[in-house]
Amino acid sequence: MFKRILTTTTACLAFAGVSLAQAPAGRLEFEVASVKQAELPTPAMVASGKIHAGMKIDNARVDIGLMSMMQLIQKAYDVKQFQIQGPDWILTTPYDIVAKMPAGATKEQVPQMLQALLADRFKMTLRRDKKEQPVYALVIAKGGSKLELYKPDPETDPAANGAVTGSNEATIKQSAGKQTVSDGTGLQQTVTPSPDGKNLHIEFRKVPMGMLCDGLFRFVGRPIIDMTELKGDYNASMDISMADIIAVQKSLGLGAGGSGGGSDANRPADAASDSFGNSVVSSLQNLGLKLESRKLPVEMLVIEHLEKVPTAN
């Protein structure tokens, strides 16, 4: 579950600073980059909070920690997880990257430099495709939304007090059975197991609707498209059953009996109508939201070739 929560959190886009510098001409790439597979954190590291995860941009230095290949591709091409079709291991293999941007480059250009890095160091080739597929539309249920609009706290929220760092580096704190994951933009998730161990209570702070969809789609077996028309960020809480969490872990190859997979992993034909994902559907109903079955064209990135081990630094 730690991987899934961390994946959702570090998928946040960093706030970008304004720069008047001119971008370098031609192909955008890092001046120099150190790339290596990362070691998964131990429980002791999680408990101590000594984990470097997410992306931090400090002047010309870009520091990426514990980001899976899936997350790197999402960051590079600004796509959702369900839009990427590739090998199973891209979900579960994390990397550490330390890179230097060329003079005149801006934070907004980091995705283009990541594209070049993926092509150069991992020999990635891809093609774009569009196909119609079953999806769920997230809509407001009868009676209206019960979501609480997030209100910035000038004392604690980095976005509210004008601190724009270009960072979405995740910090993880664990105490009294709770685990809190937060990033440099104010987004936060706190996870607390129920006393009987059958559910996880998850509290979200400052989560946009699109990110909520991204974090939940694996529980219901289809992409979730935000059609609520709700703007801004929200506070929300959900209770996810351990049965649903274990089902997702197995489908990703993280538990016994499962086989990993990207957006084409095996799923029930209509997941929101059977036991798979029921706790998510119930939690959404409590928030005044519901899922409606639709069929829509979805833009896809199809990975044709990708090396797991990067070329030498």
Q: Which residue in this structure is represented by tokens 């990541």?
A: 114
- pLDDT at 155 (0 to 100): 66
Check pLDDT > 70 for residue 24: no
Whole-number pLDDT of residue 5: 40
Radius of gyration of the chain (CA): 19
Residue 286, both tokens: 């409590």
What sections of 19-103 are H helices per DSSP?
A: 43-48, 69-77
**pLDDT at residue 174, as a whole number:** 79
3-class secondary-structure state, position 113: helix
pLDDT at position 53 is: 84
CA distance 116 to 157: 34
Give the C-alpha separation, 222 to 96, whole Å.
30
Given a cut of 50, whether residue 175 has pLDDT beyond it is yes
Helices (H) and strands (E) in the chain, counts: 7, 14
Please choose, from the candidates 208, 210, 174, the residue with its C-alpha nearest in 3D space to the C-alpha of residue 80. 210
Q: In the predicted model, is pLDDT for residue 165 greater than 50?
A: no
User: What pLDDT shows up at residue 267?
Assistant: 37
At 238 the pLDDT is 96
d(CA 190, CA 238): 11
* pLDDT > 70? residue 19: no
Determine the distance from the C-alpha atom of residue 241 to the mean position of all C-alpha atoms in its chain, rounded to a whole number: 20
**pLDDT attached to residue 54:** 87
DSSP per residue, 194-240: -TTSSEEEEEEEEEEHHHHHHHHHHHHTS-EEE-S---SEEEEEEEE
Helix ranges restricted to H, the chain: 2-10, 43-48, 69-77, 110-121, 209-220, 242-251, 278-286
**CA–CA gap between residue 173 and residue 179 (Å, rounded):** 6
pLDDT of residue 185: 79
Q: Is 20 exposed, middle or buried (0-12, 13-18, 19+ CB in 10 A)?
A: exposed
Of 189, 218, 183, 216, give the one whose Cα is nearest residue 201: 189
Lookup: tokens for 262? 């990207």
Residue-range domain boundaries for the chain: 2-305
> Strand 84-85 vs strand 289-305: parallel, antiparallel, or unpaired?
parallel
Question: What three-state secondary structure class fits 34?
Answer: strand
pLDDT value at 255 more than 60:
no
State if pTM tops 0.85. no
Question: Mean pLDDT in the chain?
Answer: 82
The model's pLDDT over 53-102, given as tens digits with 9 standing for 90+, comes to 889 999 999 999 999 999 999 999 999 999 999 999 999 899 999 999 99
Q: Which letter, b or e, does each residue of 250-277 get, where b requires 16 or more Cβ atoms within 10 Å of its Cβ?
A: ebbbbeeebebbbbebebeeebbeeebb
Q: Which pair of tokens denotes residue 76?
A: 């590079």
Burial pattern 187-198, b for ≥16 Cβ within 10 A else e, equals bbbbbbeeeeee
Given a cut of 80, whether residue 26 has pLDDT beyond it is: no
Q: Look at residue 130 in the predicted model and tell me its pLDDT.
A: 95
What does the DSSP assignment read for 2-27?
HHHHHHHHHTSPPP-----PPPPSSS
The percent of residues in the chain predicted with pLDDT above 70, rounded, is 77
Band the pLDDT of 186: cuts 50, 70, 90: confident
159 CB burial (10 A radius; 0-12, 13-18, 19+): middle
pLDDT at residue number 49: 66
Residue 168's pLDDT band, with cuts at 50, 70 and 90, is low
Least confident residue range of 9-18, 111-120, 247-256, 303-312: 9-18
Residues 6+ apart with CB under 8 A from 246: 255
